[in-house]
Structure 1
Amino acid sequence: MNKTPVSILQEMMVKNLSIPTYELIHDGGGSHINTFTYRVTCDGLTATGMGRSKKDAKHEAARAMLETIAEHRGYLQLPASPAQSPVRTPLPPVAPEVQRIPPDVPFVNAVGALQDLCAGNNLSEPKYEQISEVGPPHAKVFTIQCDVTTFKEIGVARTKKQAKQDAAKKMLDKLTNLVPEFKLSCDSEISQQENISQEIAKTRYPMLSKLPITKKINLGVKLSEYHIQLKSQFDNELRQDLIEKLSTINPSSENSINEKYVTTLLAKFQEILMSIGLNITVTTLPSSENTLVGMRISTSPSIVEIGLANTRTEAELNAILKLINTLILRLK
């Protein structure tokens, strides 16, 4: 079994009824290129070793001690250890230059385009592999390799996602340059997708343009004046119409409380809110005894009410009725 210098020195000293003593005399250095120094003492001798990690420095100190013992006792020079200590943190290589994309250049999803090109031309699916990660923690540089059949391209960037995009773009350019038919097929497909998207946008624009625009309230307004700001978002005719609709769904007499009734009431309330660009969120709150249900209307700031009852259905009804009454008061 292969042994490291530390284990060889340990066994040698145990046979002499002693053990080596290691002392860390230099800890790092406070930068991303740290160096550590260990001093080992045994049998009246001392040796030191340096490394990029504590483990490497300890192995180097043990190696130096074995050489010192051999020289001191007149032994033949010890052969190199068959199990070299791996350098886990080697000195970082020079980080490659990262090309910056000009701000006026539009973003193109090269990864997706390459995927479509390969699928449309019966090519193997692109494979990506990270082959390098260099630089200090605050300025990492990643290198990712893209493989398609026998072709290979690498991308270099500050993030893994950008490096993948860079590798995919280079591979896309190589394939379309080598086989012009790929380029024509890819361009025609993209053009077709753009035409479809434009047609969908044209058909949906008239409907979307009629939707009410949600106005944002200045968050600097005092809460005491909030009701005034909410009313000012709507003209008198729309406010009166909203109050009338809310009063209509607000039951004035006792009704049989059941899940279907509460669900229908909530649906009507949501429909009215959606007509003015608002929505409602329902949340069940933890409670040891009764059931708590919280409801929030997406005004700014939000209108929140809580319903408390023995059952969830009753709690939801209480919260809905409170919200309706609160909203009516805000609109009057």
Structure 2
Amino acid sequence: MEQVSLRPSSAKQEKTFVSVFHELCKKFEFGVAKYSLAAELPHSRTFLMNLTVDILGITVQGIGLTKMQAKHDAAYKMMFQIRETYQAGGTINTVPRVKLVNCCEWLEKLGTLKEDIPKPPTEPTLNPAEVLTEWRLTRHSTLPEYRVVRTSGPSHSKTYFMTCKLSERVTEGEGKSKQAAKNDAAEKMLQILEDEEL
């Protein structure tokens, strides 16, 4: 997912938009970034996340297939908004212009912001297992391991039970096909990871 990874600023592991924005808030004394879930659209499996920074007087809304993606999208949009305001010669609330200049120069050095806000990750083709794999790949982390642990029911109507293992975390999903069980286990793993990040 584009929202979740940055352009490489060094050979080190890439930072997320949330971690870069947190660092920005600390470095330039913008205060605490407040994230809140605005909406969950179950029919499209989409989450909307608000991000407010009181000192800036700005609230932006991120969108994603998971709460985590929506949070990263919101952080990116907030940084984008700061840069756009600075480039247009404007000011933000009571933040001195010199602080905006320093903030935008810092972002420029990191190579965090692209030319445009990325399109929200709402492709209907993505399933939870793909989302989890892509999310792990952006962090150069170990990929989840899936294993069928048991089946139940008659041969013409089996139910599959599959585990998803990621480091020390293990979830179990079930479904009428191996793919459905895999997606169920992946969705539960994504929920654990989202809860940890929020």
TM-score, with structure 1 as normaliser: 0.24
Q: Which has the higher helix share?
A: 1
Q: Which has the larger radius of gyration?
A: 1
Which one scores higher on RCO, CA 8 angstroms, separation ≥ 6? 2
TM-score, with structure 2 as normaliser: 0.39
Q: Which has the higher strand share?
A: 2
